[in-house]
Amino acid sequence: MKLCCLAGTLPAVDTVRPPALRPGDSVMLVSPAGPADPAPVARGTQLLESWGLRVVPAPHVYSRHGYLAGTDEVRLADLDAALRDPGIRGVICTRGGYGAQRIVDGLATEGLLADPKLVVGFSDITALHLALWRRARLATVHGPGASWRETRTPAASARSLRDALMSSRPVVVAADPADPTHAVRVPGRATGPLLGGNLSLLVASVGTPDFPDLAGAILLIEDVGEAPYRVDRMLVQLRRAGALRSLAGVAVGQFTDCTDDHQVSIVEVLAEQLGGLGIPVLGGLPVGHGYGQLAVPLGVPATLDTAAGTLTAEPATLGD
C-alpha cells in the first residue's frame, strides 16, 4: 500500500489512499444519518451503474427511526459491514441530515489501514470524514451522495463525482463568479492538507477526539440554512477555541439559504470573520449544498490560489 506524506505544518503523518474504483467494483450504499428517500436513491443507483459499478444497498439503507435512518445499532452495523467487507470497494452515503455523530465512536477502523475504502458524502457525513481522518488518516471524498436530484446536481456534478471516484487525477475546483461568496477573498497562495466540510458539524466536533489539528491546513467550510448571525457565532467559536490560529488558508464553499431578516449578509459575516486571519481566503467554490455541487478529496495535499481563483487537491485515490 502506498502512502503519501502531507504538506504543511501538521505532525508527520501519512494519508491512506484507497484504490480508484474501476468498472465491476462493488460499492455499498449506507445511510449513517437521516432517512433516505428511495426515488432519488434509485436515480443515484442508475448513475453509478452507468459507470460500470455494482451497487449494493446496505440492509437498512431505507430504515426509519424518527429523524434517523434506523436506530443507532442498525446504522452502525451497516457502516461497519461496508468498511469491513473486502468485496466492497466504495462506501457511498445516501444523504446527510443528522445522526452520524451518534455512531462514529463505535466504528471499528483498524482494518482500513490494510484495506482502505473510498468513502463519499457531505453535510452531516462531515462527522464521519473527521472520524476516519483521526483514526485511520483515510483520504475521503466530500461530494454528492447517492440521493441524486438533477435539479441540484447536474451533469457537471456527476462528472466531478465520477472523476473523484474513478480516476487518480488532481481535482481542480474553480471559484464561481455567480456565487455570492465569490466576493470573499484575501489574496495569496496557500498549500497544506485540505480538511473540513460542513461548518456546523465542525463546530459540533470541537472538544471531541475527532476535531482535527488544523495547523498548516487549508480549511474547507460550507453550510446550508444557517442565518448569518449563527455563522458568525460558529466562526467566533472556532476562533476562540484556537482552531483558526495556524491555518494556511480557507476555502469557502457554498453557503446556501443563509439569510434572515437582519440587514447583514452572509458575505459580510464571512469577510469580517475570515478577513482578519492574515491568510489567503478564496470564496465562491461550488462545494456544498448548492446547485452544481462538485466533489473534492479531503485529507490530501492541496493548493489554494486566489489569483487563479482555484482550489487544487491531490486525488483521494491511488491508480494502478
pLDDT tens-digit map of 18-70? 999 999 999 999 999 999 999 999 999 999 999 999 999 999 999 999 999 99
* pLDDT exceeds 90 at position 148: yes
What's this model's pTM, rounded to 2 decimal places? 0.94
- Considering the candidates 60, 147, 289, 314, report the single residue annotated as catalytic: 289
DSSP output for 219-265: EEEEEES--HHHHHHHHHHHHHTTTTTT-SEEEEEEEET---SSS--
* The pLDDT value given to residue 111: 84
What is the tens place of the pLDDT at every residue in 260-297? 999 999 999 999 999 999 999 999 999 999 999 999 99
In the predicted model, what is the mean pLDDT of residues 6-10?
Answer: 35
Q: CA torsion, points 119, 121, 127, 132, in degrees to nearest 10?
A: 10
Closest of 246, 173, 174 to residue 212, by C-alpha: 246
What is the tens place of the pLDDT at every residue in 96-122? 999 999 999 999 888 888 899 999 999
Domains annotated for the chain, with CATH where assigned, are: 3-166 (3.40.50.10740), 171-313 (3.50.30.60)
* pLDDT exceeds 80 at position 8: no
Task: Return the CA Rg of the chain.
Answer: 18
**50 given a catalytic annotation:** no
**222 given a catalytic annotation:** yes
* pLDDT exceeds 60 at position 6: no
**65 given a catalytic annotation:** no
- Considering the candidates 147, 222, 226, 314, report the single residue annotated as catalytic: 222
CA 283 to CA 297: how far, in whole Å? 18
- Considering the candidates 31, 123, 147, 160, report the single residue annotated as catalytic: 123
* The pLDDT value given to residue 11: 40
Burial of 285 (0-12, 13-18, 19+ CB in 10 A): buried
CA 240 to CA 20: how far, in whole Å? 39
pLDDT range class, residue 3, cuts 50, 70, 90: very low
Phi and psi angles of residue 193, each rounded to the nearest 5 degrees, phi first: -70, 140
84: cell is 469491513
